[in-house]
Amino acid sequence: MTIVANATAGVAGLAAWRRPELRGRGLWVVTALAEAVVLVQVTTGALLESSERFQVDRFHMFYGFVAFVTVGIAFASRDQMRGRREMFYGLVGLFLMGLGIRAVQVI
């Protein structure tokens, strides 16, 4: 879910950067939902890992941590990217998609 959501948000963000008529509330709803999915998935994974019933590869947890931090940095940097916000969030979405793919590969 995280991979598909962030791929969709990333492509939508880059398309909106190139074509201003694609900008609007819908783009930001898709982006916010995709990033919320990352946060929910990382939080769920951390809770499952802390229960000691599940063991996962340390690199899998590392990629989750990097994704969590990436969402926070992207949110904190949004005001600095005026005029290029769609490009920025498009690239962030694709980066999160890549982290998700990589995290799945190390399970």
- Per domain, the residue ranges of the chain are 2-105
Summarize the confidence of residues 48-71 as an average pLDDT: 90
Percentage of the chain surpassing pLDDT 70? 100
Question: 34 near 5, Cβ under 8 Å?
Answer: yes
Nearest to 70 by CA among 50, 92, 86, 90: 92
Considering the entire predicted model, what is its pTM? Answer: 0.92
pLDDT score of 107 more than 80:
no
Percentage of the chain surpassing pLDDT 90? 80
